[in-house]
Amino acid sequence: MQAIGPSAPARPRELFPVIALGLIAVIVGLSAATLGPLGLMPVFGSLFLALVLTRPQYGIALFLSTFLMAYPASLQGVGYLTINNVLGGIFGIMLIYKVYRDADWWFIRTPEIQLLVFVSFAYFLSNELNAPDPHMVSLLGPGFYFAEGLRTFVNRVAFTLFFIVYIRTPAHLRMVYLLAVGFMVFTALTGVQGVLGGGGLKGYRAYTGSTELVAGKAGIIRAAGNPNRLAMFAILAISGMWYLSQYLRIPGVRYVSILTISVLSLAVFMTASRSGLLGLITCALAIVIDEGVEIRRLLSFALAGALVVILVVQFVPSKSLERITNLPGTEGAQTGVGSASLERRQYIWELAAEMFRENPVLGVGMGNWATWRFIKDPGYSTGQPHNSYVLTLIEGGIFALGGFLALLWRTWRNLRFAEAYVSVPGSPLADLSWIVKSAKVSLVVLIFFSMFADLWNLVIIFMLIGTSVVVRRLVEDSQARQAVAY
């Protein structure tokens, strides 16, 4: 037995966190008292920098949120001084120091990074050689040239590089993936709330309006202002929620997930997006094929389906139902709600074919579709082709399209390689199985949606590329440790 006596004095190392917390509290209090709210900015900036330097994975999570979340106007920054660019600068300096310290350029040898650099170079050449005449662009008026351009794409490439370097453990990957799924779920629910509140695009289609984002409303995925993209994010969230519920196997979680998936499916119907409906069917088929036929899963699907039918009948406007069921090849597609959209897309593809014949090798330059279409279209329209394959071919030529297709193939192979390992009973990385399966289905959905929307500049596809690289590296490291052990 141990005698009860005076407790041992605390060692200096144990007191350090307490002292540090006390000093921070004093600094924050004095700054607020003497300088007002603005005095807190340097303090929180210093804490933010310390967090990123000591826990880079949290910085990557914050980096991801800058792409997904519309921050309040007061936090968005001015010009190039944004949270996104500040984080990129910090991670760039950290990476340079890491390479100097370790003398290891392993990420340069990663095929995915090499392909991204190749695509970036292809876009650079097309911008330099085939971009519209600057004088002609200036005559179109101020603010016309609004395309995201090559700078945004390079920003996404940098994010992918930082992702694969600083997301190093299964815990890091789970945190980031859960964050992305959470944002997508919240965004879909926001769209549903808008329609139920009497709003929506044209009064009946679910979307997260761009005017709200300009006003600085927080918590909404900026790229989901388009109903078709909102439907896609809802479907990607369905994939994440389904596999997470299958992994957790906690009593009650399955029913909560079924309810959430049903509401996410409702969001797809509320967007009145035909590509969304086809994407939802694609996601369901991919899950069934991946999971196989099992009574428990079939019952879950049946319960979710019944809930979706009830919710759709109860809440989806009749105009949305009419539009979403006017699929190509049906009579409604010719004369019903949304028929004009199909006619416009057919006309856009004819313009795209003409533009491709003029610049088949390098394209017209990233972000230049709108300008070239405005010049060539008798109606002076700037609408996008709503097809990622076509847009990449027109703006980057055959080299950029080939690079992207190779990236998608590499991502698929990485996920399949990891799945074969994490799905084995007793695998050290079994807790990543739901992420790998969800990412695989999400990739299938993205490849499908790419035929109906311009998606290859969205951060989600770059996150999936990074996720595939990270899980493959984790699997290879685990296999190497097991080989040494045996």
- Give yes or no for residue 12 having a pLDDT over 60: no
pLDDT of residue 1: 42
- Higher pLDDT: 447 or 219? It is 447
Q: Percentage of the chain surpassing pLDDT 70?
A: 71
Q: Phi, psi at residue 453, to the nearest 5°?
A: -155, 160
pLDDT of residue 251: 74
- 199-207 average pLDDT score: 53
Among 52-56, 85-89, 291-295, 478-482, the minimum mean pLDDT is found in 291-295
Q: What is the rounded distance in angstroms from the CA atom of residue 424 to the CA atom of residue 406?
A: 28
The model's pTM is 0.83
Q: What is the rounded distance in angstroms from the CA atom of residue 183 to the CA atom of residue 264?
A: 13
Helices 170-196 & 433-449 angle (0-180, nearest 10): 50
pLDDT of residue 272: 80
| pLDDT 10s digits, 90-127 | 888 999 988 888 888 888 899 999 999 999 999 988 88
| pLDDT 10s digits, 380-392 | 666 677 789 988 9
Rg of the chain on CA atoms, in Å: 25
- 449-461 average pLDDT score: 87
**Residue 222 pLDDT level (bands cut at 50, 70, 90):** low
Q: Contact 433/379 with Cβ under 8 angstroms?
A: no
- Higher pLDDT: 480 or 40? It is 480
- 313-341 average pLDDT score: 62
| pLDDT 10s digits, 236-271 | 999 999 999 888 877 777 788 888 898 898 888 888
- 287-301 average pLDDT score: 77
Burial 167-201 (b: 16+ CB within 10 A, else e): beebebbeebbebbbebbbbbbbbbbebbeeebbb
- Higher pLDDT: 438 or 358? It is 438
